[in-house]
Amino acid sequence: HAQPVSGMKRRDRDARRGVEVVLARSAARFVTREAADLFHDAALAMQKAVISGNVLAFIQADKALDEALALAADNPFAARLAAPLQTHSRRFWFRYKADTGLAESAEHHVALIRSILDGDEEGAAKDAKKLMALLRGHAEVAATR
């Protein structure tokens, strides 16, 4: 039986990991010019948020990235499954990691965006897994606070 880790259960993270990999692979395969523009905007907003230390702007950029991912993947079922898990993760991150984790998180997000824009399905899947591993690590650290 998985125990909650500061409001985030292991099964929540496991479900998100699986669907994020599906979305990342599909986004790399099907990315359109419109979605690519949204990815560029999200990456730029994320970088600006890191430079200014603006946590709320970072969270908005993260949401914009999730929306670009949903559009690019062209898989409404996976996107609908991911949306509440992504929101839950953003709330968790804001509560437990926002004070120190902007640059590291942005680095992982931008790597994912690059793989998607390069059309690298395996790279995108790998980067999605790395991003989810980062989230898991934050959850485990939060459990010890």
Cα distance between residue 20 and residue 132, in whole Å: 8
* pTM of the predicted model as reported, rounded to 2 decimal places: 0.85
Domain 8-140 has CATH 1.20.120.530: yes
**Domain boundaries of the chain, sorted by first residue:** 8-140
104-142, pLDDT tens digit by residue?
889 999 999 999 999 999 999 999 999 988 887 777 776
Cα distance between residue 140 and residue 78, in whole Å: 26
Give backbone dihedrals phi and psi of 21, rounded to 5 degrees, phi first. -65, -45
Listed residue (135, 22, 128) closest to 80, CA to CA: 22
User: What number of residues does the chain have?
Assistant: 145
